[in-house]
Amino acid sequence: RSPTPPRTITDPSLQTFTCSLCLEILSDPVLIPCGHNFCLKCLPDYWEQNQEFSCPQCREIFTTRPELHINTELNEDIKKIKMAIFSPLPSQNYAGSGDRAEESYLMCAVSYCQTPLKPHFEAGCSPG
């Protein structure tokens, strides 16, 4: 059985870290004056296509092109999130039985076999 796929940007917990232009996890996020973040590459492309400096999300119009600087704190948080999402979890044995876990959940890092699921639910975790 193949491993559980990593969480994607459709995961509601990742929406804050998603560029509304490319719909991917932010890459080199830049913060514009209205408070929205976009990928450093996406925003200038958007402005060039639309021929005005406005926020793609709230539509606020800027009289001059805002200077773009990478939001370093957000960028560091995104790097940590990407490491957590895309790093494989170590394979765990279930209850010392020698059976390999069939699924792992990134939120709680508890691995389990299909039957029984008792350790997973006792840990208070739920799927992705």
Q: What is the pLDDT of residues 81-121, one digit of tens each?
A: 888 776 665 555 555 555 555 555 554 444 444 444 555 55
What is the model's pTM?
Answer: 0.59
Q: Give φ, ψ of 104 to 5 degrees.
A: -135, 145
Range of weakest confidence among 14-23, 26-35, 106-115: 106-115
Chain region(s) in the chain for CATH 3.30.40.10:
1-88
Burial of 54 (0-12, 13-18, 19+ CB in 10 A): middle
1-88, CATH topology level: Herpes Virus-1 (3.30.40)
How many whole angstroms separate alpha carbon 60 and alpha carbon 71?
Answer: 20
65 alpha carbon, distance to own chain's centre: 28
